[in-house]
Structure 1
Amino acid sequence: MRESHLGELTVSALGLGCMGMSQSYGVQSDDAESIATVHAAIDAGCTFIDTADVYGDGANEELVGRALAGRRSEVVLATKFGFQRVGSDMPNVVNGRPEYAASALDASLRRLGVDYVDLWYLHRRDPEVPIEETVGAMALAVEAGKVRYLGLSEVSGETVRAAHAVHPISAVQSEWSLWTRDPETGVLPTLRELGIGFVPFSPLGRGFLTGQITSPDDFEPDDMRRGMPRFSGENFQRNLDLVARVQSLAASKGVLPSQLALAWLLAQGNDVVPIPGTKRRKYLAENLGAVDVSLSASELAELDAAFPPDAVAGDRYAPAGMNQVGK
């Protein structure tokens, strides 16, 4: 596994997103297989592990903590805060208040069973709290030795610039893939100006770019994708037609569509660290195979032409979710 860089933080070129081990994509969780997947990732040199306090209402951090027992020193561990549950039957609210930041971090450390995290993100910007105040509180955690580096998620270039002036930001995490291209003209130029790394989540389009999703009926009843515009109505078939192009290109190269999609991201620079999520060792092995896929300039151009930035039908989230991103 080759290395990449998020600011001054060195990580494996591919990371492992752990959200799906505890929520969102249906099918009953399998903690034993999930822990085995984390161990297999570490053994293969994929040592950048990503979770968040909101995933599974804390259950994912507890799961990751169990997986890392005895192996903490082998990984770069990232978690996030910023969503707060205010009631068992209420949606999470965004909370970036300084006092909440401190308590959220302490709770994450307890669940993870660690003394510090390597990278701590603000999951969403709180529109009611100046970003300087939130990041100022996060910086205190660095001073206290509870965090090594700071990150932000789903923010604008202007927010990054304001935050970075308070304390160095090492990474910004947002969705980026062949079917989510907006970071390229949005936040990414600012990150590269400031020397900040980019961590694409959902680099396989929430599984769509694997070519294994062919119908909305493929989703379990509790799968969050059932409520996402890109997976609904006419948008589904239009996007399926786009994926067919990736499948054709992958077949001609003798690789899996997922590997081609990840290789495209890896080719964007060693300041880009995708974190494909999986809870199964089989798919982990497939994803890690992307590191060995080289793309020529003509192949990259062919992929760009097959999946232009404005080709995908539908927003990433329903309106309420879209209102929380790019702030």
Structure 2
Amino acid sequence: MSGMKKIKLGSEGLEVSAIGLGCMGMSGGYGPAKPEQDMITLIHHAVNSGVTHLDTSDVYGPHTNEILVGKMGELKKLVEEGKIKYIGLSEAGPATIRRAHAVHPITAVQLEWSLWTRDAEEEVIPTCRELGIGIVPFAPLGSGFFASGPKVMDNLADNDLRKIIPRLQGENFDHNKLVYERVNEMAQRKGCTLSQLALAWVMHQGDDVGPIPGTTKIENLNQNLGALSVKLTVQDMAELESMASFKGARMPEQILVHSYKNSDTPPLSSWKF
């Protein structure tokens, strides 16, 4: 699929494939790390299929390294030295985005956005669009819920994050399973899988949106790429949004306390040099 649709992120026009590959699950997060050679094979397959956006990350500190790198405008300096070309942020609130963008243009902001989680539409996404910043939705398939449905909770490893996501527990899960069934009925009418329908909804949000569904299996990657062929009308979008009334928090409280709503980069005036 070398002719895969491309999108441009940010005012600098960084061109990437319309669908990227989230790599977190390869090394943990959703259970133990996967066999290295299998993951290398998957990455090669993704690149050969036209994927040019591979999303990887480290968790430093946590949180202290982000402030450290931000002091003395170090990222801007690295750009000026030609060591890096683009700067992006992840899970950042409007104030942090504006402060960072004032120092050096931000190319993209990574945030959780899907039929499953839409709170970023209130302030973060409008801020990005006001400033001409590209949007990179992570977990566009609802942490696998749109791919596997209720079965997503079967046989999870002890350290799988989904074991403690509130939306996948108790009464919340019972309600959300009913929502899944309603959305799945629409997918059947559209002649696609539910995961393709959910991913297509994200991609139909605009040409400044490049989702990064994560997977560790080639067959799932191929299915994700198939979402490029799913066409949704304005009516389809509205119907999906009216169905997607999910209950429960998107992440457990111990993680949400560090999300963009509860944790912001302190103003420059408060930093000690």
Say whether the fold is shared (TM-score over 0.5).
Answer: yes
Deviation of residue 28 (structure 1)? 5.3
Equivalent residue of 1:46, what SS?
A: coil
Aligned to 1:67: none
Aligned to 2:204: 267
Contact persistence 2:26–2:33 (CA under 8 A): no
CA distance in 2, matches of 1:243, 1:181: 16
Query: Does 1:167 pair with 2:167?
Result: no
Aligned CA distance change for structure 1 residues 135 and 37 (closer, same or farther; 3 Å): farther
**Percent sequence identity over aligned pairs:** 46
TM-score with structure 1 setting the length: 0.75
Query: Does 1:320 pair with 2:254?
Result: yes
Aligned CA distance change for structure 1 residues 135 and 6 (closer, same or farther; 3 Å): farther
How is 1:201-220 mapped onto 2 (pairs within 5 angstroms)? 201-214=138-151, 216-220=153-157
Deviation of residue 168 (structure 1)? 0.3
Gap runs ≥5 in structure 2: 265-273
Higher mean Cα deviation, 213-222 or 223-232?
213-222
Aligned CA distance change for structure 1 residues 204 and 134 (closer, same or farther; 3 Å): farther
CA distance in 1, matches of 2:224, 2:207: 17
Aligned to 2:229: 292
CA distance in 2, matches of 1:262, 1:287: 7
Kindly indicate which of the two structures has a greater share of residues assigned to strand.
1
Equivalent residue of 1:96, what SS?
A: helix
Query: Does 1:15 pair with 2:20?
Result: yes
Gap runs ≥5 in structure 1: 55-82, 85-91, 102-132
Deviation of residue 147 (structure 1)? 1.3
Deviation of residue 32 (structure 1)? 1.7
Query: Does 1:200 pair with 2:137?
Result: yes
Deviation of residue 231 (structure 1)? 1.5
Could you list the per-position Cα deviations for residues 274-318 of structure 1 after superposition, in whole angstroms to 9, with x for gaps in the alignment? 0000111010000000011111111111111111xxx22211222
Contact persistence 1:135–1:167 (CA under 8 A): no
Bigger relative contact order (CA 8 A; separation at least 6):
2
What is the root-mean-square deviation of aligned Cα atoms in Å? 1.6
Equivalent residue of 1:219, what SS?
A: coil
Aligned residue-pair number = 256
Contact persistence 1:201–1:276 (CA under 8 A): yes
TM-score with structure 2 setting the length: 0.89
Which among 37, 42, 47 is matched to residue 42 of structure 2? 37
